[in-house]
Amino acid sequence: MILSLSTVAICATCALGAPSVTDKDVKNAINMITTALEERHDELRCWDPVIQSKGWLHRHPGTTTALTTLSLLSAGVSYNSPKIQRAIDFIWEIEEPSSYLRALRISIWAVLPDTFERRLEKDTKQLLRSMSLELGGWSVIGTPTKNEIISPLIREFGVIALRDAHNRGITISKKYWLSIANAALKAQHADGGWAYSSSGTAGKSSSNMTVAGLNCLLGIDESCGRDLNTDDADKLHLAIEQALTWLDEHGTIKNSGGTALMSYLYALERVAMACGLSEVRSRDWYVDGCKSTFKAHCGKKKAKGSTVNLAFALLFLSRGNSPIAMSELVERKSNIDMYKVSDAITKKVSHKVETELSWRLLTQEESISSWLLSPFMLIQNHEVVQDIQKFQQYLQHGGMIVMLATGKSLQTCRNLAETICPDIEMEHYQRNHWGHNLLETADNVHFWVWNDNVRDRILVIQGDGEKLTRSSNSALARALVNICCGTIEIDQWKTRLHVTQTFKPLRKMILAKHSGNWDSEVAAYRTWRTEEKEFSEITKPSLVLVGGIDEDEITEALISNIIETAKKGSTIIIESIGGRGHFAKKACEQIASATNATPTPLPLPFVPTGRGWTILHRESLPVPLAITVGKGKIISIDCDIRNALLHQTTWGVHGYSYESAKKLTQQLCN
The secondary structure of 256-290 as a DSSP string is: --HHHHHHHHHHHHHHHHHHT-SEETTEEHHHHHH
Coil/strand/helix, residue 546: strand
Coil/strand/helix, residue 359: strand
Q: Note the pLDDT of residue 449.
A: 99
Q: Judge whether 644 and 661 are in contact, CB under 8 Å.
A: yes
Helix (H) or strand (E) holding 607: none
Q: Judge whether 463 and 407 are in contact, CB under 8 Å.
A: no
Count CB neighbours of 383 within 10 A: 9
Q: Note the pLDDT of residue 180.
A: 96
pLDDT digits (tens, 9 = 90+) for 287-334: 999 999 999 999 999 999 999 999 999 999 999 999 999 999 998 545
pLDDT band at 197 (very low <50, low <70, confident <90, very high): low
Give the residue with greater pLDDT, 512 vs 669: 512
Give the residue with greater pLDDT, 505 vs 5: 505
Q: Reply yes or no on whether the pLDDT at 10 is more than 50.
A: no
pTM score above 0.85? yes
Q: Reply yes or no on whether the pLDDT at 558 is more than 90.
A: yes
Q: Reply yes or no on whether the pLDDT at 16 is more than 50.
A: no
Residue 573, strand partner residues: 545, 635
Range 101-250: architecture per CATH: Alpha/alpha barrel (1.50)
Helix axes 285-297, 258-275, angle to 10 degrees: 150
Is beta strand 530-533 parallel, antiparallel or unpaired with respect to 543-548? unpaired
pLDDT digits (tens, 9 = 90+) for 435-494: 999 999 999 999 999 999 999 999 999 999 888 877 778 999 999 999 999 999 988 999
The mean pLDDT value for 567-582 works out to 97
Q: Reply yes or no on whether the pLDDT at 17 is more than 60.
A: no
Q: Reply yes or no on whether the pLDDT at 528 is more than 70.
A: yes
What percentage of the chain exceeds 70 in pLDDT?
94
How far from each other are the two terminal CA atoms of the chain, in whole angstroms? 59
**Alpha-carbon span 256 to 252, nearest angstrom:** 9
Q: Reply yes or no on whether the pLDDT at 268 is more than 50.
A: yes
pLDDT band at 53 (very low <50, low <70, confident <90, very high): low
* Ramachandran assignment for 578, one of left (phi > 0), alpha (psi -120 to 50 degrees), beta (any other): left
Coil/strand/helix, residue 547: strand
Q: Reply yes or no on whether the pLDDT at 181 is more than 60.
A: yes
> Rounded to whole angstroms, what are the CA distances from 308 to 53, 58, 300, 301, 315?
12, 7, 20, 20, 11
Q: Which of 29, 69, 12, 22 is nearest to 318 (CA)?
A: 29
Domain range summary for the chain, segments of one domain joined by +: 23-95+252-321, 101-250, 347-487, 509-669
What percentage of the chain exceeds 90 in pLDDT?
75
Q: Reply yes or no on whether the pLDDT at 496 is more than 80.
A: yes
Give the residue with greater pLDDT, 526 vs 108: 108
The mean pLDDT value for 18-29 works out to 86
The mean pLDDT value for 159-175 works out to 96
Q: Note the pLDDT of residue 473.
A: 84
Q: How far is CA 541 from the centre of its chain?
A: 45
Give the residue with greater pLDDT, 59 vs 345: 345
Q: Note the pLDDT of residue 58.
A: 60
pLDDT band at 142 (very low <50, low <70, confident <90, very high): confident
pLDDT digits (tens, 9 = 90+) for 632-663: 999 999 999 999 999 999 999 999 999 999 99
Q: Reply yes or no on whether the pLDDT at 91 is more than 60.
A: yes
Q: What is the mean pLDDT of the chain?
A: 91
